[in-house]
Amino acid sequence: MNSIKHFKEKSEPKKRNIKKSFVAACDQAHLVDLQFRDLRRTANVRILACGASPVFAQKILGHASPTINYEHYTTITPEIAKTIALSLAEQTHLT
């Protein structure tokens, strides 16, 4: 038996269970129009707000390329802008 095919067959029900559980949790919490990818976007924003590199965020979120983060999941919040500004100010004073 092809091990990749076997793995895919076993993992498919898990995907449905996660989606079903997520939808049920949103229903219980009375959340409308929340999609699982919204959680991914929030995670990306918070990882970047901590000062982590985009490549680190890409690896944590499991994307093949940092470009996906830039194009789909990056939102520059005031927190991120402040972190960047502080980091640039610190680097300027060091040189």
Domain ranges of the chain: 1-32, 35-95
Exposed e or buried b per residue across 41-51, where buried means at least 16 C-beta atoms within 10 angstroms of its C-beta:
beebbebbbee
Residues in the chain: 95
Task: Provide mean pLDDT across the span 61-70.
Answer: 80
Q: How confident is the model over 39-64, as pLDDT tens digits?
A: 888 888 888 778 888 889 888 888 88
Q: In this predicted structure, what is the pLDDT of residue 11?
A: 52
